[in-house]
Structure 1
Amino acid sequence: MYYNGVYHLFYQYNPYGAVWGNIVWAHSVSYDLINWVNLEDAIYPTGPFDANGCWSGSATLLPGGKPAIFYTGSDQKNRQVQNLAMPKNASDPLLREWVKSPHNPLITPPNGTDPNFFRDPTTAWQGEDKVWRLLVGSQIKGRGTVILYKSEDFVSWSRIGTLFNSLAETDMWECPDFYPVSTESRNSLETSELTKHVLKASFNSCDYYVLGNYDTETDRFSVENDFTVSSSGLRYDYGKFYASKSFYDSAKERRILWAWISESDSKSFDIKKGWSGLQSIPRNVLLSKSRKQLVQWPIEEMEKLRAKEVTAQSEDLKVGSVIKVSGITAAQADIEVSFEISDLAKAEIIDHNLVDPQLLCSSKTASVRGKLGPFGLLALASEDLKEQTAIYFHVLKKEEKFVVLMCSDQSRSSLMGNLDKTTYGGFVDIDPRHEKISLRSLIDHSIIESFGGEGKTCITARVYPSLAVGNEARLYVFNNGTVGVKISRFSAWSMKNARIASISKRRKLKTS
């Protein structure tokens, strides 16, 4: 959240180990969303309502701007209940101390709900009637859902029902999010003709969303599409990106989204290295001009970290080309590239039944020569290309329409074994007859966040090269198709380090 000139990040943290357990709310602050200072843990078990852990939740700014945190506590009976915490001193811009409500728990699992599937309250919002609403993730009769609650005083809450009844058979909806969005940031708090609402749910290790119209009088959410479990559905990110949370940044009138990125190695390896998991780069979220999906883009502050730049214009990427990019730190870089296709008539025709982009990418890896593709980047690559993570495109034709497929191939990302080396994929909603195929990739040693079609399709890769490490990492532009491709624009920057500091020791939990 943004409060009194400071950005606050709260996140799930284990003070005693690198893997899940002893969960508290850790707390870091920033003035620019790039450089951070770690503070004391903000919320930790203190009572019967959160004796077994302080789990996920959300912050809400009350009238007058005072923040409040709703979070899930695992109580002494191992039930999941919803609790409230407020800052001890709201005039402290760092909000270092939090006090829990004497009324906790404020919301307990309703009848008919498994107490093990009732968690992750959203940011609350007020309707025109000035009554507060919030959602809690759940699962009813084996199907994921969100339960809607109302309150006039932010303390006494009553169940209203469900916001949206999905037909999709999914696991529990974890970390739900619900917010307005428009094609322009400044409209994203308004309920107008320019605005739609986003309902996001995390399940099956992915973050899915639906768009629709929210009726503030009836609290009904009319969706334009349902959740789709396959990778052909709407997702924030088609790679390793989960349990995301958005907030409205009033300082710059924008909606910002970020997520937890888990590891691709084993629990034992996490324990050995002493840490596990990280936050994604903050992303600005808007509604696409087509109003059919979201677009995401790294926040503009990321450009403060850009250092040395290399550029190229109008370069042909011939058949079989692998061009090395020199002059930047390839292990820590920001790359923007655009491709043009001149001979679309040679696009490979695919069966109209092939609708799952991840399956397509799994069969059309970077090493499999196609016609119009694969072409793109080889990131975190070794000099001999034994290690590489490929982010690339295929231009295909299906039912007389051109389809742009974006893939992230991790099959050769490391020589190490026992790693998740899934190949990810998503379709990019652009027309290559009239639009250039653009890619932006942010590379940071073991993570690559990629944005295709100016943010219409995003894929995050979590990789662990053993050869392409530090100064040994290389970056290439390649074309493994049988048709030439033109690079219409290429810019790459070395990226400086963000500054991470601590100004106090972490609070230790009582072990009694």
Structure 2
Amino acid sequence: MNKDLKMEKETFRPICHFSPSKHWINDPNGLVYYKGEYHLFYQYHPHSMVWGPMHWGHAVSTDLCEWEELPVALYPDELGQIFSGSAVVDWHNTSGFQEGEEAVLVAIFTHHGEDNEKQSIAYSNDSGRSWMKYEGNPVIPNPGIKDFRDPKVFWHEESSKWIMSLACGDHIQFYGSPNLKEWDYLSSFGETYGGHGGVWECPDLIYLDVEGEELKKWVLIVSLNPGGPNGGSAIQYFTGDFDGTTFVTDQKEEDEKWADWGRDFYAAVTWSGTEQPVWIGWMNNWEYANQTPTAEFRGSMSIARTLSLENKQGNYYLIQKPLMSNRLKKQLIFSSDQADFGLESPLNIKIPALPFMIDLEMKDGNSPTFTVSLKGKGTLLAITFDQTSQQVRVDRTKSGRVDFSEHFPSIDTMPIDSLKDMFLLVDHASIELFINGGRYVMTESFYPASSIDLVEFNTSIEQADYEQLTIQTIHM
């Protein structure tokens, strides 16, 4: 959270997630780690609660939990608004922008003009506190493509050049550069692969470990709006190989892999400069983002998550695990390795405060059909694990404030092959659900009519057993 808002009691203000002190926020931008600080830039409208002329807002953290909000980093200019992009540490000063002993940070972003998007850069010689736009902008002019945006850049050691992934309507283009100023087109991917229910946005090309193997695979992240599996915006991904010029997927053209099956995880990208891949996403959906019933601010970020891959019979799937800071104070509410619940005996646990988290491990690595209900006065959010249909359902149709948009009340589903364990993080206006060690993930916003004060576990069978159940509240 924003550390300046610790004492704020504003309804729906998250504790475990970053939200701006005021006004509109969407995509995370310019994620870069430098000298012990995680920089979070983001799409920001500093004068309104709805989307408008885009700036880059800025916050920093040492633990991805407590954030210090800094002044706006990049303002619109004669070339246009400041749309999404990335940032890197130019350790070897390939750009020539470095002025002293401090390494230079370079931001690569989209200048959005009227029906004309092009790529530009800016640089900072004071650890990201102030930025100078390059006088030679744009560094990649628009080639006649309407949607031509969201550059994500990294240094590719094997080919000794910077690689840019760029969203181009219905596909991704790759560019290469020796110095971040001069770019050559390399290749494209995606016209016939994956989901195409909307515009492709916010790409990220990352190299991930395969868990339990001496193997790494390239993963191309692509946000899609609309066209998500439960409606509106979502994130798909492709696994494969990259040789410094071309990305080749190991998936079939019709395959669709979704990073998060919930309604509220979008535009996620990874931090540059971290030892292990870590990403964060915007916790909202374009179907109703401008109408959510918050005050003072609108929009927040997800919890930060580490990334890896799982090999399942030659198919590679994303694994996401939440990063919970050691700075968070936890209070044990319930813990048992013996209790169970059944048709005539639901398990009810009182919750004294939000946020809280639930860890559940099932016996024998599997489970019957059961429901976890989050309850408060006038509020019911139900998460059902259905063994028969092999799916998870999140029902937020009675979750409190649902009348602000016709698109918000929903029952969202995610296919799963089994339920071995789950981790659920519940903040003031969101849930993040991680199943089977992060193989299956759902992120959903909700706006309770009153605080959640009860968790109920119930099932339609005589008895459902679990190996271990722990519930803890979280405090800053």
* Maintained 8 Å contact 2:167/2:200: yes
The within-5 A match list for 1:10-409 is: 10-46=41-77, 48-50=78-80, 53-64=81-92, 66-75=104-113, 77-87=114-124, 89=125, 92-93=126-127, 95-111=128-144, 113-114=145-146, 117-139=147-169, 144-168=170-194, 169-183=196-210, 194-203=215-224, 204=226, 205-216=233-244, 218-226=245-253, 228=255, 233-248=257-272, 250=274, 253-262=275-284, 270=292, 273-290=295-312, 292-301=316-325, 304-326=328-350, 328-340=351-363, 372-373=368-369, 375-379=370-374, 381-382=375-376, 387-396=379-388, 404-409=390-395
Correspondence for 1:417 among 394, 403, 413: 403
Q: What residue in structure 2 maps to residue 427 of structure 1?
A: 415
Instruction: Call closer, same or farther: CA 1:333–1:220 in 2, change over 3 Å.
Output: closer
1:178-213 deviations in Å (ceiling 9; x for gaps): 10101359x9xxxxx610111111112011111112
Separation in structure 1 between the aligned mates of residue 294 and residue 446 of structure 2, nearest angstrom: 17
Once residues 289 and 205 of structure 2 are traced to their aligned partners in structure 1, the CA distance between those partners, rounded to angstroms, is: 32
Distance 1:249 1:227 in 2: 34
Contact 1:71–1:82 under 8 Å retained in 2: yes
Runs of 4+ in 1 over 6 A off after TM superposition: 341-344
Check the 8 A contact 1:306/1:334 in 2, yes or no.
Answer: no
Distance in 1 separating the partners of 2:319 and 2:466: 23
Note the alpha carbon deviations across 1:127-185, whole angstroms, 9 max, x for none.
Answer: 5231222111012xxxx101111222221112223044433444221111110101359
Superimposed CA distance per residue, residues 409-445 of structure 1 (whole angstroms, 9 cap, x where no aligned partner): 1122126534412112212344xxxxx6211111111
Work out whether residues 211 and 311 of structure 2, in 8 Å CA contact, stay in contact via their aligned partners in 1.
no
Equivalent position of 1:481 in the other structure: 460
Aligned counterpart, 2:447 = 464
**CA 1:342–1:34: 2 relative to 1, 3 Å:** closer
Kindly provide the amino acid, as one letter, of the partner of residue 387 in structure 1: T
- Give the superposition deviation at 1:294: 1.0
SS state at 1:102 partner: coil
Equivalent-residue separation in structure 2 for 1:438 and 1:271 (angstroms): 33
- 1:235 Cα deviation from its structure 2 partner: 2.6
The one-letter code matched in structure 2 to 1:72 is T
CA distance in 1, matches of 2:254, 2:258: 8
Report the AA paired with residue 108 of structure 1: P
TM-score, normalised with respect to structure 2: 0.82
**Is 2:88–2:272's contact at 8 Å kept on the other side of the alignment?**
no
Percentage of matched positions with identical amino acids: 25
CA distance in 2, matches of 1:182, 1:306: 31
Q: Deviations over 1:344-377 (max 9, x none)?
A: 8xxxxxxxxxxxxxxxxxxxxxxxxxxx42x142
User: In the TM superposition, what are the counterparts of 1:494-509 in structure 2 within 5 Å?
Assistant: 494-497=473-476
Contact in 2 for aligned 1:240/1:460 (Cα 8 Å): yes
Work out whether residues 341 and 459 of structure 2, in 8 Å CA contact, stay in contact via their aligned partners in 1.
no
Distance in structure 1 (CA, Å) of the matches to 2:112 and 2:290 = 26
Question: Structure 2 stretches of 5 or more lacking a match?
Answer: 1-31, 93-102, 227-232
Q: What is the rounded CA distance, in whole Å, between the counterparts of 2:210 and 2:414 in structure 1?
A: 22
- Shift of residue 228, structure 1, vs aligned partner: 4.7
Partner of 1:349: none
Gap regions ≥5 residues in structure 1: 188-192, 345-371, 397-402, 431-435, 498-512
Q: 1:389: Cα distance to partner?
A: 0.9
SS of structure 2 residue aligned to 1:411: strand
Structure 1 residues 224 and 123, CA, compared in 2 at 3 Å: closer, same or farther? same
Tell me which amino acid in the other structure corresponds to 2:166.
V
Secondary structure of the structure 1 residue equivalent to 2:72: coil
User: Which residue is 1:367 aligned to?
Assistant: none
Amino acid aligned to 1:167 = Y
Please state how far the C-alpha of 1:9 moved relative to its aligned partner.
Answer: 0.5
Deviations for 1:85-132, whole angstroms, at most 9, x for unmatched residues? Answer: 110x2xx34x21011111101112224x23xx1110012332523122
1:272–1:335 CA distance, 2 compared to 1 (3 A): closer
Q: In the alignment, is the contact (CA less than 8 A) between 2:293 and 2:404 conserved in 1? A: no
Structure 1: which amino acid aligns with 2:223? S
State the Cα distance separating 1:21 from its structure 2 match.
0.6
Instruction: Supply the AA of the counterpart residue of 2:346.
Output: V
Structure 1 residue 24 displacement after superposition: 0.3
Question: 2:21 maps to which residue?
Answer: none
CA distance in 1, matches of 2:308, 2:366: 32
Could you tell me how far apart the structure 2 residues matched to 1:305 and 1:222 are? Answer: 43
Structure 2 SS opposite 1:487? strand
1:137–1:173 CA contact under 8 A, matched in 2: yes
Q: Distance in 2 between matches of 1:249 and 1:463?
A: 33
Q: Judge conservation of contact 1:249–1:256 (CA < 8 Å) in 2.
A: no
Cα gap change, 1:303 to 1:312, in 2 (>3 Å): farther
Which protein has the bigger strand share? 2
Evaluate the alpha carbon distance shift between residue 163 and residue 199 of structure 1 in structure 2; reply closer, same or farther with a 3 A threshold.
same
Give the counterpart letter for 1:338 in structure 2. Answer: E
Q: In 2, distance between residues paired with 1:99 and 1:484?
A: 64
8 Å Cα contact 1:234/1:293 also seen in 2: no
> Secondary structure at the residue paired with 1:103?
coil
CA contact (8 A) 2:222 2:237 kept: yes
Shift of residue 309 of structure 1? 4.0
| 1:224 CA drift (Å) | 2.4
**Change over 3 Å in CA distance of 1:263–1:330 after alignment to 2:** farther
Paired with 1:57 and 1:183, the residues of 2 have a C-alpha distance of 27
Aligned-partner Cα distance in 2 for 1:248–1:39? 19
Report the equivalent of 2:22.
Answer: none
